[in-house]
């Protein structure tokens, strides 16, 4: 079964509203999680690294105030798209390092955000 759960899988919202996306590691702790963004027919681009108990590390060009990341526990990271606009419509995917000894990243199923 899936080791990283991402919710919701799809969200449609009006322009100006905020949307929260959750990423949970199942049966293991993740002090670090990653958030990626994928536009249609394009590659995945790393947005930020989520660190449990400390501030997220954002990639160059990603607006910190637009994409708020909170990693309040060892199994949960959230991405909040604040005041969403149509250009924020995208596929957002989280990942977490795998179980000790396996050492790979596991990805969530992704969240498709559509901003009207």
Partner 1 sequence: AQKVTQAQTEISVVEKEDVTLDCVYETRDTTYYLFWYKQPPSGELVFLIRRNSFDEQNEISGRYSWNFQKSTSSFNFTITASQVVDSAVYFCALSVGGTSYGKLTFGQGTILTVHP
Q: Which residues here bind partner 1, judged by CB under 8 A?
A: 34, 41-46, 49, 91, 93, 95, 97-98, 103-110, 112
Nearer to partner 1, 48 or 115 (CB): 48
Hey, which residues does 49 pair with through a beta bridge?
A: 34, 57
Nearer to partner 1, 44 or 68 (CB): 44
Nearest to 31, CA basis, from 56, 11, 12: 56
* Phi, psi at 86, each rounded to 5°: -50, -35
Nearer to partner 1, 17 or 42 (CB): 42
Tokens of 9: 């899988």
To partner 1, the closest distance from the beta carbon of 65 in angstroms equals 22
To partner 1, the closest distance from the beta carbon of 16 in angstroms equals 26
Nearest to 114, CA basis, from 1, 19, 7: 19
């Amino acid at each position: 079964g899936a080791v990283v759960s991402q919710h919701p899988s799809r969200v449609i919202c009006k322009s100006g509203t905020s949307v929260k996306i959750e990423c949970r590691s199942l049966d293991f702790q993740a002090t670090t999680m990653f958030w990626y963004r994928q536009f249609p027919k394009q590659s995945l681009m790393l947005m930020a690294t989520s660190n449990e108990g400390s501030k997220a590390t954002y990639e160059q060009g990603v607006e910190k105030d637009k994409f708020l990341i909170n990693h309040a526990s060892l199994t949960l990271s959230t991405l909040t798209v604040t005041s969403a606009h149509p250009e924020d419509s995208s596929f957002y995917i989280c990942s977490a390092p795998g179980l000790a000894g396996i050492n790979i990243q596991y990805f969530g199923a992704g969240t498709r955000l559509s901003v009207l």
